[in-house]
Structures are given as structure tokens and as C-alpha cells.
Chains A and B, each alone.
Chain A
């Protein structure tokens, strides 16, 4: 929340000593509110004054980091309720559970399944971010710590330590505290002991309430003991009330700067059927969960979940683009086919993937359409006979191949006549509409025409 000059003035010494370079404390406060100077220019501000000012200017939703190194995950610090208002900044962390009652092979298998949950889409790597290691009801602290150790030895993912027993959490922290795991969870029964663990090991901590009121009063108590890296669980597991609580937390933080709930959230799926579980996870990704924990670990289940996260967290202001130029897929020769597409990342990588799958080395001419798809660009007159022809000339495609055949997307078949006029000597071939048809096209149709 932005502070006014007056809010700031109240926290200053009011001595007008001038050491900050401004004649009065009020003038300094005004400059500070306008972000034209910084608080450290005043040597006399008290500790409490500084703390109050820093606290008040903190973002309405705290950014909490889990893990260390390359795989660390930062969640929270969102600024809007709807992505079109700006963008969502910190993609929902996706966590998969491992139960500590898994023995030997089963544990290995589970770890292996989790390891493989990473995919490549639109030139980006999409993968799960966290592993939630859950203690069973009948497991001992020693057993739990042993499983945590085993999982951590195999998986390079920040852990969430899930246990209600402070003793078990303590044992587990002995083996992984330096990885900055997220502790799950401090609740009304154990919060003093669990909060102490979080403080001693400086690890982020989940606070679990039974409803928003209890949750707020718990975070107030815990944060007053100096622990700030909190994650919120309102305790709900059914879809409607979870969505309602997640929405309220986001609104209270952003609209009311309500500090007790100004932290990122965590949501858990509860459905056993993988389709229904996916539905829960996806609804929570769309509506305000900063971490979602799933039990399902099938690739066909996580691929749509991670894709949805990618979609929701794409900046609506600027489409992801690739550089317009000629790309070579495979070891091209002068007889390799030449395909044309746009510089919208989604379009380009879809086409590139299918060209690669065809195992026919090819050139792809990428036309600058300001990051728009084939039909969008065509409708907006950015993917025209002229723009394609000028790209072919600019990137000197004539010098790269000995033939004069150009494959255009099936959706813009209407461009072929005009394009042949613009590119004398070239023959325009209309490819399939969907790029998934490219492998068959290159293997069959292209083979024939290129003979």
C-alpha cells in the first residue's frame, strides 16, 4: 500500500535538522512518498519508526521463498484479482505428495514418477516445483526423517514437510533444514512449538486455521514472534469453500491491506478420482492458490495442470515471441523443404515440434507478425503475401536451398496466388491446416513434389 507523506511524517523525528538535505522533516516525508529519496538519508529515524515505515510499505501479499538454489520457488506478491488488470507474477507452485508409509520399491517408484513430471511447451520448461512429504498416522519421528532423507537424496525439489507433530518435524529438519523446506503446519494445537522450529531454522511456515478467523488470529500471534515467511491454509478441502476462502484471502489482502492474511496460500486437492482431482487443482490455480498440492502423479494428469498454470500466468500485455528469422531443424541440405509460419511462440514451437517429429530436416521461415498466430495475424493483415515474400527475400532463402518451393499453413491457403506473384519463380504449396499433419505431409506429399 502506498503511504502518504503525512503517514511518513508521523514516524520521523520532527526536528527539522536538515541533515537529509531537505529543510524540514515534512519536506523529506513528501519526497519519500513520491519515491524521490530513500529513508536511509535520515540518520535520526528511530528503530520503531523504520520498522513501522518498512512494514507499512511492504507489499500487501508477502513474497515467500521455499527452497534454495536454482529450484527455489517464490510465491505470493500478487497485485491484482484479475489477470487482465495487470498480470499474475509468481506461478502457482505445484507440489506432489509422497507418503512416508511407502516402503522400498514403492517409494522408489513414487520418486521416479515425480522426477519425470517435467515437460517442454512453447519453448518453455514446465515442471512441478515441490515435493510434499507427508507423515502417516502411525509413523515415528525417526521413520519420517528417514523417508525425508531418502526423498531428498533422489529429488532435487524443495520439500514441504507435512506433519502435525513438532517432534517429527524437528527430526526431519535435522536432515533438510538448510534446504529451506516449507513446514506444514502450525495449527491451534501446536503452533508455539512449530513456530519455534520455523524460527530456529529460519524456514517458511504454513499456518493452518479452521476458517479465516482462526487463521488470522494464528498468523497475528506467530508473526508477532518475528516469523514473517508464512503460507496460509484455511483448512477447507471441498471445492466451493476452498475457492471462497482463497478469494477472500486475496481480496482482504489487496483491497483492505489486511495484514494477518497478507501471505501466499496453499490448497490441497481432496478428490481421489484423477479427473476430479485435476479439476480441483485447476480451479485453485485459476482462483488464487499460490501452492497446490496433489496426490496424483500421472504425466497425463500433470501436463494439463502445468499447461493451465502456464496459460493463467502468461502476461496478457505481451504475447511470448520468437525472433523472426530462418530456423533450421535437423541437418538441412539444399533440397530441404521450406515452411513458413509466424513469430508467435506458441505457433512457432508447435510447428517446430512437428517438423522435428517428421525427421525431415527443414527450414522454417518465421515472419514477424508481432507475436500473433497464423489466423490472428492474417485477420490483422500482418501475415500477408507481402510480409511473407519480404521475409523470404530478407532472410535470403534463395541462397539456402536449390529448389523454389514454399510450404504455407493450410489456414491461409488463400494467400497462395498472390504470394506466387510476389515471389516470381517460386511455387507455393499449401500445407495441412493443423501442424500435426506436417509429419505425414513431409513424408508423403513433399517427397512426391520434390522429386
Chain B
């Protein structure tokens, strides 16, 4: 008797979101990225479609990050004070096909830069590289609201992905993205109801759900990862199984930011001789955080270290290869 596999009949589908506009589409990007579109759980190709592979966005700052540990800062030392060169290095040397530009210079502790000044950094990056851009504010409500609209304007037509809108602070960013044709990230603190609420608030302003990406908040490996993991899984099940349209959105995770906070990622060998080489440990801590979140359903991983990025890209390669067993009679070992 042939074995009958248990294949779930999912009814929902995750929205497809495009980042980046090429010349013909009113922008200046040389490529674009589409995420989402899943009709099943991650990488179970025999049961659902995964038309677009999850992507890694390399993180670039508009001011030199003074608090990055040595192992993380080393690859970028020469370019850190110039977001244009930093971006170019990510694309040309590390093959990044998407960048996440973080406007840290606008943070009140990091220089409190004016909207004018910050938007110049955005322009620089747009000119330096052709890949699509994610643009992230410093995460302080007042500063986000001052600088993001100006940055949205200078990137008008480029179909960037802007973030983050939150439950208490979304109106300014939504209005800007609506006017300039960008997509938006809605953030929630590991809470499925708030995630839903944020999506509804944003779409109530006339912003299409089809252009929203969810940031459910990421806990790094060993520092709350399991909470993020389960919230993403629950959201996916609600979207696919229960057909909840307000949860059927792609997911973005700030993997680099969270994993490099961990002591395990950055502590030196002299402090923890039993943990092994920090030059390997740091990037692997980041990569492992990403690999786990991929299994939960992450679509965009914002990452930092080139080795972690490269490794996760390879992992995505292996995971998005169709399952040879279920698609043909061929077996493999």
C-alpha cells in the first residue's frame, strides 16, 4: 500500500511585495526584488509555492557605527564613514542584491543630523548602487518623523521599503510613502494582535496591504529568538490556514542588529576561552539566528557580517532547490 503523505490544504497566500523600480518603471534601479507569494509553509515545496526566495539585505549605516565589535567592523573599516562607498562594497564585493540603509546619523545620540543632511546620504547611496533599498529611520519617533519624509521625497519613484511604522507612530511615514510610491514596514512588539492592528491602521489611511511588510521584532539567538520564531509561525499559520488577509504579509527580521548584541557573538577568546575563535563565532551567531528565522517564515533578513551573509545565501540556495524526491521518482543521497 503506497504511503499517503499528509499534505496540508492551505487556502491563503502571502502578498507579493516589490522593492525597487527600474528606469522603465519610473525609478533608477538596475534591478528589483520581489518577496512573498508563499502558499505554504517554508521550504515544503511539494505542498505549496514559494515563488520568490527569501532575501538577505546587507545593512549600511549613514554614519560610522562606533559600537560595532571588532570582528564585525573589520570588513568595513575603510568605507564606514562613507555610505556610498560602503554600499558599493556590499554590492560589488559581497554580491548584495538588496541594501538596508540605516539613518543612524539622525539619532539624538548619534549626531542628531538634520533632514537635509540625512537625505543627502540617501541620495549618495542611490547614486552609488543600482540595487533596491530599504531605508530605516533611527527608531526614535520624533526624529523618524522629521527625517523620513524628506528621505522619502528624495527617493521618490524608487519604490523603496521604508521603516518602521508602529502602532503609536505611523501617520507621518504612511503619508510620505503614499505620496512617493514606497512600501512600508509595520513593526509590532512580538504580539500578533498588535501586528494585525498596525497593518489595519496603515491600510485605513488608504495604503494598500499589498505594500506592507511586517517586522514582528526579532530576538537574537539566545536572547528571545524563540519568541520571534513562534510569533512568525503563528502569523503564517493564521494567514495560510485561516485565510487572515491582515496577516498575509511578508516578514522582515533585523537579524544583524539583534545577534550582534549577544555576548556570545562578540566576547573575546581571552574572556571565554571555552567558546572558541570569536572571528568564527560572531558571524556564525548571526547566521544561525537567520537560519532559525527562515524556518519560521522570514522573507527578508537584514544582516551585517559578510561571512554570515554569504553563508545564509548558500543556505537559502539549498532550501529553495525543489525537493527532488517529491517532484520526480529520482532518489538522491
- Chain A residues with a Cβ under 8 A of chain B: 82-84, 116, 119, 121-122, 210-213, 216, 235-241, 243-245, 247-248, 251-252, 255-256, 273-276, 278-279, 282-283, 286-287, 298-301, 303-305, 307-308, 310-312, 314, 316, 346, 350, 353-354, 357, 373, 379, 434-436
Q: Check B223–A346 contact: CB distance below 8 A.
A: yes
Is B267 an interface residue, CB under 8 A from the partner? yes
Q: B230 an interface residue at 8 Å Cβ cutoff? A: yes
Option from A244, A255, A283 in Cβ contact (under 8 Å) with B326: A244
With A243-B44, A299-B274, A307-B264 known as contacts, the answer to whether A238 contacts B311 (CB < 8 A) is: no
Which single residue of chain B is at the shortest CB-CB distance from A245? B325
Alpha-carbon gap, A354 to B263, bound state (A): 9
Say whether B6 contacts A256, CB under 8 Å: yes
- CB interface residues, B 192-244, toward A, < 8 Å: 221-227, 229-230, 233-234, 237
**Binding-face segment, B28-36, B78-86, B312-320:** B312-320
Task: Return A340 CB to nearest CB of chain B, in Å.
Answer: 20
**Nearest 10 CB-CB pairings of A with B:** A300-B276, A299-B276, A300-B281, A275-B311, A251-B6, A304-B288, A311-B226, A286-B295, A84-B230, A279-B315
Chain B residues, CB < 8 A from A210? 331
A441–B318 Cα distance when bound, in Å, is 45
By beta carbon, the residue of chain B nearest A260 is B3
The answer to whether A241 and B332 touch (CB under 8 A), given A83-B230, A212-B3, A300-B281, is yes
B234 and A84 contact, CB distance less than 8 A: yes
Cα A316 to Cα B5 in complex, Å, equals: 29
- Additional A-B contact list (18), CB under 8 Å, known A83-B230, A248-B6, A311-B221: A83-B226, A83-B233, A84-B233, A119-B274, A212-B3, A236-B325, A240-B319, A240-B321, A278-B288, A279-B314, A283-B319, A299-B274, A300-B276, A311-B292, A312-B229, A312-B292, A350-B263, A435-B263
B222 touches A121 (CB 8 A): yes
Give A375's nearest chain B residue, CB to CB.
B189
Question: Is B233 a contact of A82 with CB atoms below 8 Å?
Answer: yes
Q: How far is the CB of A435 from chain B (nearest CB, A)?
A: 8
B120 within 8 Å of A (CB atoms): no
A247 vs B3: C-alpha distance when bound (angstroms): 14
Q: Is the CB of B277 within 8 A of A300?
A: yes
Q: List 25 A-B contacts (CB under 8 A).
A: A83-B229, A119-B275, A121-B222, A216-B3, A240-B45, A241-B332, A244-B325, A245-B325, A274-B280, A275-B284, A278-B288, A279-B291, A279-B312, A279-B314, A286-B296, A299-B275, A300-B281, A301-B276, A301-B280, A303-B264, A307-B288, A350-B263, A354-B263, A434-B261, A436-B263
B287, CB-defined interface residue at 8 Å: yes
> Cβ of B43 and Cβ of A300 under 8 Å apart?
no
Q: Which of the residues A252, A256, A311, A434 comes within 8 Å of B222, measured between beta carbons?
A: A311
Give Cα A84 to B283, complex, Å.
29
Asked whether, in the complex, the Cβ of A278 is within 8 Å of the Cβ of B287, the reply is yes
Residues 1 to 37 of chain B near chain A (Cβ within 8 Å)? 2-3, 5-6
- Determine whether the beta carbon of B230 is less than 8 Å from that of A82: yes
A316 to B219, CA, bound (A): 14
- Whether the Cβ atoms of A239 and B222 lie closer than 8 Å is no
Residue among A82, A212, A305 making CB contact with B288, cutoff 8 Å: A305
Residues of A within 8 A of B46 (CB): 244
> From residue A240, how far is it (CB to closest CB) to chain B in Å?
5
Chain A, Cβ-Cβ closest to B192: A84
Number of A-B contacts (CB under 8 A): 168
Which residues on the A side are within 8 Å of B314 (C-beta)?
A: 276, 279
Say if the beta carbon of B88 comes within 8 Å of chain A: no
B266: interface (CB < 8 Å): yes
Distance A152 CA – B315 CA, assembled complex (angstroms): 35
**B307 contacts partner chain A, Cβ-Cβ < 8 Å:** yes
Tell me if B287 and A244 are in contact (CB < 8 A): no
Once bound together, how far apart are the Cα atoms of A370 and B223, in whole Å? 17
Q: In this assembly, does B95 line the interface, its C-beta being within 8 Å of a C-beta of chain A?
A: no
User: Across the interface, which residues of A come within 8 angstroms of B296, CB to CB?
Assistant: 286
Q: How far is the CA of A142 from the CA of B307 in the complex (A)?
A: 44
User: What is the CA–CA distance of A247 and B314 in the complex, to the nearest angstrom?
Assistant: 22
Contact A255 B6 (CB under 8 A): yes
Could you say which of B281, B294, B323 contacts A240, with CB atoms under 8 Å apart? Answer: B323
Does B170 sit within 8 A of A, measured CB to CB? no
A92 nearest CB across to chain B (Å): 13
Q: How far is the CB of B220 from chain A (nearest CB, A)?
A: 10
Q: What separation, in Å, do the CA atoms of A216 and B5 have in the docked complex?
A: 12
Q: Note all chain A residues with C-beta closer than 8 A to B263.
A: 350, 353-354, 435-436
Contact B318 A240 (CB under 8 A): yes
How far does the alpha carbon of A121 sit from the alpha carbon of B222 in the complex, in Å?
9
Tell me if B322 is interfacial: C-beta within 8 Å of chain A.
yes
Bound state CA distance, A330 and B234, in angstroms? 44
Question: Which A residue sits closest to B267, measured CB to CB?
Answer: A436
Bits for B264-278, please: 1 = Cβ < 8 Å to A, else 0: 101100010011111
Report the nearest A residue to B226, measured CB to CB: A311
**Any chain A CB within 8 A of the CB of B93?**
no
Given contacts A311-B221, A350-B263, contact A275 B287 (CB under 8 A): yes
Given A275-B311, A282-B292, A300-B284, A240:B322 Cβ within 8 A: yes
A282 touches B325 (CB 8 A): no
Shortest C-beta distance, A55 to chain B (Å), equals 20
- Complex alpha-carbon distance, A278 and B278, angstroms: 16
| A211 with B288: CB separation less than 8 A | no
Is B61 an interface position by the 8 A CB rule? no
Are A238 and B281 touching (Cβ within 8 A)?
no
- Cβ contacts under 8 Å, B333 to chain A: 235-237
Q: How far is the CB of B145 from chain A (nearest CB, A)?
A: 20
Residues in A neighbouring B45, C-beta threshold 8 A: 240, 244
User: Would A282 and B311 be within 8 Å (CB), given that A241-B323, A311-B226 are in contact?
Assistant: no
- Check if B281 sits within 8 Å of A303, measured CB to CB: yes
Pick from B3, B45, B263, B275 the residue with the most CB of A within 10 Å: B3
